Amino acid sequence: MPENNNPQSQHSRGTLLLVGFGPGSEEHLTFRARKAIEEAECIIGYRTYIDLVRPLITGKEIIQTGMTEEIERASLAVDLAYQGKTVALVSSGDVGIYGMAGLAFEVLSDRGWTGNEITVEVIPGVTALSACASVLGAPLMHDFASISLSDLLTPWEVIVKRLHAAAQADFVVALYNPKSSKRVRQIEEAQEIFLQYRPVETPVGIVKSAMREGESIVLSNLSEMLTHPIGMLTTILVGNSQTRIFQNRMITPRGYQRKYDIHTGERLAKRTAP
Ligand code: SAH
């Protein structure tokens, strides 16, 4: 980003902070995210998210909107920054993962932002797949894919194609936005697709509200996953062919046991080609 050496204009230049505040609990908010929220004069976010950071934002201008008003929220944040304010646009988890960061840049592009008019900083957070993996054990220890089942912005055919590709390639898969009161069929179809490539006993972790009030953690499998409650606040982790359950935890081995004796730590002799 080009330097701005004029103290006068630096002072008046607005700042847009795109902040991911993690899964919800304050303990999992990064230092930079907390500082950014403190620095901001104005906080903009989806109502439920504002409630999650409420204790940190007393005395600030707060603009909360409903879920479908994302474009309005992003435009407003950009406008206020252009007026010289320090604005935090907040998203849960990571702001750049199914969050508001991309939309903010689209609005900036629409306004003709050259990189100089306002300062823009993207501040990462603990995303749902990471929070959910932690409470389940270590299911993402090998290659994984993340797929959102929401077809509000992505055509369902594209999502289906990605589900097939990830399932076939034996990726561990994190499913964001698995189901809402209006969207119930997608998770059923996703299950059917996985069952074409993976055994019924493949471990599936179902986590609701990880690291925030109302947390629920369920260990299930591909055939029974839909017998458990799934909703808007749930992320589902589908294991790969190596994933197993150990002491009530979901574990995907990295492959050490193929190369080392886990008991002694010694490297196993190289297998010779047949
Ligand atoms: N930017 C967010 C994702 C927003 S999309 C992030 O990086 O986590 C909304 C979806 O995220 C929800 O439908 C759910 O699948 C998931 N999600 C967000 N917070 C969650 C939490 N605390 N526990 C479980 N899933 C969560």
170-196 confidence digits (pLDDT tens): 999 999 999 999 999 999 999 999 999
Q: Is the pLDDT of residue 272 over 90?
A: no
Q: Residue 130: its pLDDT value, please?
A: 98
Q: If 0-12 CB within 10 Å is exposed, 13-18 middle and 19+ buried, where does residue 6 land?
A: exposed
Helices assigned H by DSSP within 58-216: 70-82, 101-111, 128-136, 156-168, 185-197
Helix (H, G, I), strand (E, B) or coil at 57: coil
Reply yes or no on whether the pLDDT at 273 is more than 80: no
pLDDT at 109 > cutoff 70: yes
Mean pLDDT of 217-234: 98
Percent of the chain with pLDDT over 90: 78
Considering only CA atoms, give the Rg of the chain: 22
How is the chain split into domains, by residue range? 7-126, 129-257
With cut-offs at 50, 70 and 90, classify the pLDDT of residue 4.
very low
Name beta bridge partners: 217: 207
Please say if the pLDDT value at position 156 is more than 60: yes
pLDDT band at 2 (very low <50, low <70, confident <90, very high): very low
Q: Are 205 and 183 in contact (CB under 8 A)?
A: no
Whole-structure pTM value: 0.91
Q: What is the pLDDT at residue 8?
A: 44
Considering only residues 191 and 271, tell me which one the structure prediction assigns the higher pLDDT.
191
Residues near 9 by beta carbon (within 8 Å), at least 6 away in sequence:
none
Q: Are strands 86-91 and 119-123 parallel, antiparallel or unpaired?
A: unpaired
- Among 83-87, 187-191, 230-234, 253-257, where is mean pLDDT lowest? 253-257
Mutational test site, ligand 1, from 235, 236, 237, max ligand atoms within 8 Å of CB: 235
pLDDT over threshold 80, residue 270:
no
Asked if residue 34 has pLDDT above 50, the reply is yes
pLDDT band at 212 (very low <50, low <70, confident <90, very high): very high
b/e per residue, 156-183, with b = 16+ CB within 10 A? eeebeebbeebbeebbbbbbbbbbeeeb
The rounded Å distance from CA 102 to ligand 1 centre is: 16
Ligand 1 center–CA 99 separation, angstroms: 9
* C-beta separation of 19 from 88 below 8 A: yes
Is the C-beta atom of 217 inside 6 A of ligand 1? Answer: no
Task: Round the average pLDDT of the chain to a whole number and report it.
Answer: 92
Query: b/e per residue, 69-79, with b = 16+ CB within 10 A?
Result: ebeebbbbbbe
Q: What CATH number does the domain located at 129-257 have?
A: 3.30.950.10
- Identify the residue whose C-alpha is closest to ligand 1 atom 17: 128
Fold designation for 7-126? Cobalt-precorrin-4 Transmethylase; domain 1 (3.40.1010)
Lowest-confidence range among 38-47, 59-68, 154-163, 175-184?
59-68
Residue 14 has pLDDT above 80, yes or no: yes
Ligand 1 centre and the CA of 42: distance in Å? 24
> Is the model's pLDDT at 38 over the cut of 50?
yes
